[in-house]
């Protein structure tokens, strides 16, 4: 199963269900909102950036909603992701 498809499948069943909670920034995102963002970014990865299956995407980010907004479309675009972590 492609983990990048989970937001779409869950959004189809219950788009208002909470997907992500960012407590420090007091931000929440539903599966409907996440799926919308995932689809837009995945299309951008494939169309604008020309990513294809097997390409690698490096992400340098804190653990936050924005990380998931980039991580999930990278999976949906069938790209491998490399997480870069800082101190």
pLDDT at 87 over 60: no
Q: Give dist(CA 20, CA 71) in Å, integer.
A: 13
pLDDT at 30 over 50: yes
At residue 16, the pLDDT reads 97
The label of the residue with tokens 């219950």 reads 14
Question: How many domains is the chain partitioned into structurally?
Answer: 1
What CATH number is attached to the domain comprising 67?
Answer: 3.40.50.980
Q: What is the radius of gyration, based on Cα positions, of the chain?
A: 13
């Amino acid at each position: 199963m492609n983990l990048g498809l989970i937001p779409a499948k869950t959004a189809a069943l219950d788009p208002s269900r909470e997907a992500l909670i960012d407590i420090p920034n007091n931000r929440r995102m539903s599966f409907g909102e996440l799926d919308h963002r995932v689809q837009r970014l995945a299309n951008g990865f494939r169309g604008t950036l020309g990513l294809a299956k097997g390409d690698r995407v490096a992400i340098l980010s804190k653990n936050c909603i924005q990380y998931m907004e980039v991580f999930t479309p990278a999976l949906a675009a069938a790209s491998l992701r490399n997480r870069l972590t800082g101190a």
